[in-house]
């Protein structure tokens, strides 16, 4: 394989996502994708019946998520690969782990797997995380099912030393009004501003409803703004025939994004 030192972080992540030929259909699909133009996250509505609780899934696109948090470190990666060759080891988490153990480190390296978490990422990842003596954080990271490429070494961006662990954080927001819900555990979608129902507790309807008109939401006829003015809420989430979910406040389309809003 030719030297990878000139690759950008984005190129390395694309190469990792494409993987090898063993997962042919996924590979073919990935090859045709332009990752950059993919949305950062999508909201998928589960099959639901009238009057049931809102079943949905938010999927965060791994490409964007990794690119926002990591910086490819070709020198570190080269050192890891040289280590494997010297020791006669394959490129896998085990060799990555012994490589990291042999480095100077400030904090005890640890392995993270998103496999058994209530994870929102589009693909499962495994990584070893450690901080060096200058307090710079690094990972050697592998995408599940992409074992011919094996783990790759990255620096964790300075402002992402927590964000690299937030694979269960996301938000759902209305494209029209300011309503939003956020999750830190991938399960409970707490309303922004703290009042109202959690998103997964709304009941769904297949029938379009009447929504308060924008004027009624945005303006009051009274000269004084009442602090306890309730947020308009019809109490149900309308799922249309294209499986788009609509805001219970104004009927706008609900959209997902990787970061908690607000």
Q: Of 111 and 220, which CB lies nearer to Zn ion in the complex structure? A: 220
Q: Which two tokens stand for residue 242?
A: 């294209």
Q: Which residue in 250, 255, 256, 257 binds Zn ion (CB under 5 A)?
A: 250
- The 197-236 site mask, x for binding Zn ion (CB under 5 A), equals ----------------------------------------
Please choose, out of 45-53, 96-104, 197-205, 241-249, the segment that lies near Zn ion by the rule CB under 5 A.
241-249
Q: Verify binding: residue 247, Zn ion, rule CB under 5 A.
A: yes
Q: Count of CB atoms within 10 A of residue 217's CB?
A: 15
Nearer to Zn ion, 109 or 196 (CB): 196
Q: Residues 152-191: x/- map of binding to Zn ion (CB under 5 A)?
A: ----------------------x-xx-x------------
Among left, alpha and beta (phi > 0; psi -120 to 50; other), residue 243 is left
By beta-carbon proximity to Zn ion, the closer residue of 66 and 177 is 177
Nearest distance in Å: CB 247, Zn ion? 3
Examine residue 245 and tell whether it contacts Zn ion (CB under 5 A).
Answer: no
Q: Whole-number minimum distance, CB 47 to Zn ion, in Å? A: 24
> Binding mask 117-156 vs Zn ion (x if CB under 5 A, - otherwise)?
----------------------------------------
Say whether residue 249 binds Zn ion (CB under 5 A).
Answer: yes
* Residues of this chain that bind Zn ion (CB under 5 A): 174, 176-177, 179, 247, 249-250, 252
């Amino acid at each position: 394989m030719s030297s990878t030192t000139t690759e950008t972080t984005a190129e390395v992540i694309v190469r990792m996502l494409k993987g090898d030929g063993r997962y042919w259909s996924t590979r073919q699909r990935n090859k045709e994708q332009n990752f950059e133009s993919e949305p950062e996250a999508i909201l998928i509505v589960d099959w639901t019946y009238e009057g049931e609780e809102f079943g949905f899934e938010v999927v965060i696109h791994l490409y964007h998520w990794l690119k926002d948090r990591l910086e490819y470190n070709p020198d570190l990666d080269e050192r890891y690969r040289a280590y494997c060759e010297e020791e006669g080891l394959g490129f896998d988490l085990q060799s990555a782990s012994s490589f990291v153990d042999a480095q100077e480190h400030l904090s005890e390296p640890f392995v993270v797997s998103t496999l058994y978490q209530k994870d929102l990422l589009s693909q499962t990842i495994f990584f070893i995380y450690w901080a060096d003596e200058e307090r710079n954080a690094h990972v050697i990271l592998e995408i599940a099912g992409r074992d011919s490429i094996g783990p790759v070494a990255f620096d964790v961006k300075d402002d992402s030393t927590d964000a690299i662990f937030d694979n269960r954080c996301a938000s759902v927001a209305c494209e029209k009004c300011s309503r939003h819900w956020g999750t830190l555990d991938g399960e409970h979608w707490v309303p922004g501003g703290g009042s109202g129902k959690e998103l997964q507790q709304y009941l769904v309807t297949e029938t379009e409803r009447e929504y308060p008109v924008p004027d009624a939401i945005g303006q009051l006829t009274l000269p004084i703004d009442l602090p306890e003015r309730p947020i308009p809420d019809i109490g149900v989430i309308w799922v249309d025939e294209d499986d788009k979910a609509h805001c219970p406040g104004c009927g706008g389309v609900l959209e997902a994004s990787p970061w908690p809003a607000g």
